[in-house]
């Protein structure tokens, strides 16, 4: 798939991900999370949300006020998440849900300062990591599980890089101190699951995405994943950055 990896940080679409095949904002997306296709469409929608935010952040006046290192990281994240989005689009093919619609005013408000950009980006990456871990036990195909794991490891590196530059700049985490690289806000520190990363189920992930007010497209679940035992829910902090 040569065209898939021809993607660079220069996203050929606008902040909403429009590429001539955008769904009507009033059309809901309905997902059957008992299937791998439903789960990967959920992840596809989340990747679209990240790209929409990063496109907005990089184009914002606040971006110019950030340090060279911060700008480089944000530009790199935009490029990598665009590749993730287009990879999932190609993987899903005709089974994909298409493009979501986004609230540009909400995206811009969350990119009004350099600190807001770093905090919002960190929130998105940490939420993505926790969501993908939560979905892991439901993915049936070994090939799809491998793909999800590879994407998840990249998202975790993104989150760690953002934590480093945020704390190096003296920008505190939201309600938590000492969270450079990784901290007790995202890694369990006690109990049988100590050392494991935060994990959330799809319902918490939906609530977190909804709380940002970034996504206009209504996402609804027709069937939840089949019940399976797993580690307790433990999500990253969720206040508005």
Instruction: For residue range 106-145, list pLDDT tens digits in order.
Output: 999 999 999 999 999 998 998 998 899 889 999 999 999 9
| Residues of the chain above pLDDT 70, percent | 73
- Report if residue 45 sits inside a domain: yes
Give pLDDT, residue 15. 35
CATH of the domain at 181: 1.20.1260.10
The answer as to whether 211 is a domain residue is yes
Give the pLDDT confidence score for residue 176 in this predicted structure. Answer: 57
In a domain, 9, yes or no: no
Q: Per residue in 59-100, pLDDT tens?
A: 999 999 999 999 999 999 999 999 999 999 999 999 999 999
- Rounded to two decimals, the pTM is 0.82
SS3 for the chain is: CHHHHHCCCCCCCCCCCCCCCECCCCCCEEEECCCHHHHHHHHHHHHHHHHHHHHHHHHCHHHHHCCHHHHHHHHHHHHHHHHHHHHHHHHHHHHCCCECCECHHHHHHCCCCHHHHHHHHHHHHHHHHHHHHHHHCCCCCHHHHHHHHHHHHHHHHHHHHHHHHHHHCCCCCCCCCCCCCCCCCCECCCCCCCCCECECCHHHHHHHHHHHCCECCCEEEEECCCCCCCCCCECCCCCCC
Q: Residue 12 above 80 pLDDT?
A: no
Q: Structural domain of residue 156, as residue ranges?
A: 28-223
Please write the tens of the pLDDT for every residue from 158-196: 988 998 898 888 887 665 555 555 566 666 666 666 656
Predicted local confidence at residue 156, as pLDDT: 86
Residue 197 has pLDDT above 80, yes or no: no
Instruction: Identify whether 189 is part of a domain.
Output: yes
So what's the pLDDT on residue 171? 82
pLDDT digits over 29-68, tens only?
999 999 999 999 999 999 999 999 999 999 999 999 999 9
Residue 60 lies in a domain: yes
Asked if the structure places residue 210 within a domain, the reply is: yes
- Indicate whether 95 belongs to any domain: yes
**52 domain-assigned:** yes
Tell me which of 25 and 218 has the higher pLDDT.
Answer: 218
Domain count across the chain: 1
């Amino acid at each position: 798939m040569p065209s898939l990896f021809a993607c660079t940080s220069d996203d050929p679409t606008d902040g909403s991900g429009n590429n001539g095949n955008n769904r009507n904002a009033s059309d809901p997306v309905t997902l059957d999370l008992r299937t791998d296709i439903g789960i990967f469409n959920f992840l596809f929608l989340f990747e679209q949300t990240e790209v929409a935010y990063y496109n907005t952040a990089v184009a914002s006046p606040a971006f110019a006020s950030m340090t060279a290192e911060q700008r480089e990281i944000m530009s790199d994240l935009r490029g990598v998440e665009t590749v993730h989005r287009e990879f999932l689009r190609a993987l899903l093919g005709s089974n994909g849900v298409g493009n979501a619609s986004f609230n540009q005013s909400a995206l811009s408000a969350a990119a009004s300062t350099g600190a807001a950009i770093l905090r919002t980006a960190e929130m998105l990456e940490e939420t993505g990591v926790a969501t993908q871990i939560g979905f892991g036990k439901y993915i049936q195909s070994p090939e799809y599980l491998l793909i999800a794991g590879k994407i998840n490891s990249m998202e975790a590196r993104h989150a760690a890089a953002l934590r480093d530059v945020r704390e190096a700049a003296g920008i505190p985490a939201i309600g938590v101190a000492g969270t450079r690289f990784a901290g007790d806000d995202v890694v369990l520190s006690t109990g049988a699951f100590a050392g494991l990363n935060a994990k959330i189920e799809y319902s918490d992930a939906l609530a977190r995405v909804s709380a940002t007010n970034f996504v206009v497209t209504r996402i609804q679940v027709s069937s939840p994943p089949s019940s399976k035992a797993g580690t307790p829910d433990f999500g990253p902090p969720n206040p508005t950055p």
